[in-house]
C-alpha cells in the first residue's frame, strides 16, 4: 500500500519481495472496514474478488459459554492469497518489483545500500520495512526482541465447512484461541495462536487439535465436520509481542514490523494498511516543504503519529489476552459481558480505529 500510494504521487519506488505472488500466509484473514475508504481511493475493491462482508462477532470460552455482538465498524473476510495479489496486480506495472531476499541494509552518508541473496545491490534515500512479525532483517538490525525467546506459535489452515459468511468468531481453549471466518472462495480460514508449552504435550498438530482445541465444544464441532484444503497446515513460531520501534536504524517500519497486536483483536492487517497511509502522507507532505527532507524530523513525526494511532490498541490487546488466557479472569469477564452487553462492543472499539478517507 505504501508503494502504491507513493508511486501514485510520482515517486520512484523499488519493492523487494522474497516470494512471488500469490501465496498463502499465516493470518486471520479478517480486515476491519476502517481501511475500506483508503483502499477504494486507489481503486482497490476487495468485494470485486469475492471478499465476504462481516458484520457479526462471536466469542466462546473454553467451557462453551458464548457471546455475540454486532461489529461496530464491520469488516471483510479475504485470504492473504487473494488480498496480497490484489495489491500486487495494482502496483506491478507502476513500480520496480524485485523478487529476492534482502540480506543486508546499510545506512551511510544519508542513504541506504540494500544487498540481496542474488548479490544485487540497490541504493535509496529512504527505506520502508514491512517484513512482518519476524525476519532475518530484524536479526542483522539487532532488534532487541530477537534476543528474547517467545512462547507463541500460530497455525493456519483452510477448510470446507458450513459457516455463516457474515460472522467472524473467536474460540478459546487452554493455552490459546482460534479464529474462524469465511474467505472469498467460501472456504473457512481457521487460524489459532497457542503457547509452545501447551502444544508440546502432543505429538503433532492433528493430535493437538483433537485433544486440546476440541475441549471447546464449538471447536470440537468444527474440526469434526471440517475437511482440510491444504495438504498440511501453515505454521509460524517465535511470535513476539514485545514492544518494537516504529523507526529502527532510520528504516520506517510498517505493520507487524512496527508492532504486533494480539491476533484475538483481529486487526493486524488494518493496522498495517493504516501505517502505510500515515507514512506515505507524512513523506509526501515533507516533500512539499522543500527539495531536501529533514530525515530526523520525519522520523520523529512518524513515530509520534504511529504511537498516537496504535499504542492504545496494543495495550488493550495485551490486557484482553492476559484476561482471556487466565481461566478465572476469563470466566469473570464472560459473566460481566453477559450481564452488561455493551462491554464487548466497547472493547472491540478500543482495538479498532475509525473509518476515514
> Which cell numbers hold the place of 9?
504521487
DSSP characters for 64-104? S-EEEEEEEEEEEE--HHHHHHHHHHHHTTTSEEEES-EEE
Dist CA 144 CA 336 (whole Å)? 38
Residue 142 lies in a domain: yes
- pLDDT for the residue 334: 87
* pLDDT of res. 241: 87
357 assigned to some structural domain: no
If one counts the domains in the chain, the total is: 1
Burial classification of residue 139, based on how many CB atoms lie within 10 Å of its CB (0-12 exposed, 13-18 middle, 19 or more buried): exposed
Beta partners for residue 124, in sequence order: 112
Q: Answer whether residue 293 is part of any domain.
A: yes
CATH of the domain at 317: 3.50.50.60
180: in domain: yes
**What is the 8-class DSSP label of residue 120?**
-
- Number of Cβ within 10 Å of residue 323's Cβ equals 15
Query: H or E stretch including 272?
Result: helix 268-289
Pairwise CA distance, residues 205 & 207, whole Å: 6
Provide the domain limits for residue 150: 2-350
Residue 113: closest CA among 98, 123, 127, 101 = 123
**Residue 355 placed within a domain:** no
Residue 334 resides in a domain:
yes
SS3 99: strand
- The answer to whether residue 105 is domain-embedded is yes
- Give residue 357's pLDDT: 55
Tell me the CA distances in angstroms from 187 to 164, 183, 271, 288, 331, one per residue in order.
11, 6, 25, 46, 31
Q: Which of 78, 134, 98 is nearest to 3 (CA)?
A: 98
Q: Would you call 64 helix, strand, or coil by DSSP?
A: coil
Upper half-sphere CA count for residue 277 (Cβ side, 13 Å): 19
Q: Comparing C-alpha atoms, which of 287, 302, 307, 289 is closest to residue 251?
A: 302
- Cell numbers of 289, please? 516543504
C-alpha cell at 78: 479475504
How far apart, in whole angstroms, are the C-alpha atoms of residue 222 and residue 159? Answer: 10
* 82: phi then psi, degrees, rounded to nearest 5: -85, -40
Q: Report yes or no on 356 lying in a domain.
A: no
Q: What DSSP state is assigned to residue 291?
A: S
At 239, list the grid cell. 511470535
pLDDT tens for the 357 residues of the chain, in order = 999 999 999 999 999 999 999 999 999 999 999 999 999 999 999 999 999 999 999 999 988 899 999 998 999 999 999 999 999 999 999 999 999 999 999 999 899 999 999 999 999 999 999 999 989 999 999 999 998 888 899 999 999 999 999 999 999 998 899 999 999 999 999 999 999 988 988 989 999 999 999 999 999 999 999 999 999 999 999 888 888 999 999 999 999 999 988 887 778 999 999 999 999 999 999 999 877 889 999 999 999 999 999 999 888 888 888 888 888 898 888 889 888 888 888 888 888 877 765
Contact 259, 243 (CB under 8 A): yes
Amino acid at each position: 500500500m505504501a508503494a502504491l500510494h507513493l508511486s501514485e504521487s510520482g515517486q520512484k519506488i523499488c519493492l523487494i519481495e522474497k516470494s512471488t505472488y500469490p501465496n498463502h500466509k499465516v493470518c486471520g484473514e479478517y480486515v476491519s472496514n476502517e481501511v475500506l475508504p483508503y483502499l477504494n481511493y486507489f481503486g482497490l475493491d476487495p468485494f470485486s474478488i469475492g471478499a465476504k462482508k462481516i458484520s457479526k462477532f462471536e466469542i466462546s470460552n473454553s467451557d462453551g459459554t458464548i457471546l455475540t455482538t454486532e461489529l461496530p465498524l464491520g469488516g471483510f473476510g479475504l485470504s492473504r492469497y487473494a488480498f496480497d495479489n490484489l495489491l500486487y496486480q495494482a502496483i506491478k506495472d507502476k513500480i520496480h518489483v524485485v523478487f529476492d531476499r534482502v540480506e543486508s541494509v546499510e545506512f551511510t552518508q544519508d542513504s541506504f545500500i540494500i544487498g540481496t541473496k542474488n548479490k544485487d545491490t540497490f541504493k535509496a534515500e529512504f527505506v520502508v520495512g514491512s517484513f512482518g512479525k519476524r525476519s532475518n532483517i530484524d536479526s542483522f538490525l539487532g532488534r532487541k526482541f530477537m534476543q528474547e525467546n517467545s512462547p507463541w506459535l500460530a497455525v493456519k489452515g483452510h477448510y470446507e465447512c458450513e459457516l455463516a459468511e457474515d460472522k467472524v468468531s473467536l474460540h478459546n481453549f487452554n493455552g490459546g484461541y482460534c479464529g474462524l471466518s469465511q474467505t472469498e472462495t467460501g472456504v473457512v480460514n481457521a487460524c489459532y495462536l497457542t503457547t509452545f508449552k501447551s502444544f508440546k504435550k502432543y505429538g503433532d498438530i492433528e493430535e493437538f487439535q483433537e485433544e486440546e482445541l476440541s475441549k471447546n465444544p464449538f471447536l470440537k464441532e468444527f474440526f469434526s465436520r471440517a475437511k482440510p484444503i491444504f495438504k498440511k497446515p501453515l505454521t509460524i513460531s517465535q511470535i513476539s509481542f514485545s514492544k518494537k520501534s516504529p523507526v529502527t536504524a532510520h528504516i520506517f517500519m510498517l505493520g507487524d514490523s512496527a508492532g504486533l497486536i494480539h491476533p484475538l483483536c483481529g486487526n493486524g492487517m488494518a493496522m498495517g494498511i493504516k501505517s502505510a497511509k500515515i507514512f506515505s502522507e507524512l513523506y509526501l507532505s515533507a516533500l512539499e516543504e522543500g527539495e531536501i527532507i529533514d530525515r530526523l524530523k520525519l522520523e520523529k513525526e512518524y513515530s509520534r503519529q504511529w504511537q498516537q494511532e496504535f499504542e492504545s490498541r496494543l495495550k488493550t490487546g495485551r490486557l484482553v489476552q492476559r484476561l482471556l488466557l487466565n481461566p478465572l479472569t476469563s470466566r469473570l469477564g464472560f459473566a460481566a459481558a453477559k450481564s452488561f452487553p455493551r462491554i464487548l462492543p466497547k472493547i472491540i472499539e478500543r482495538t479498532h480505529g475509525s473509518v476515514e478517507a
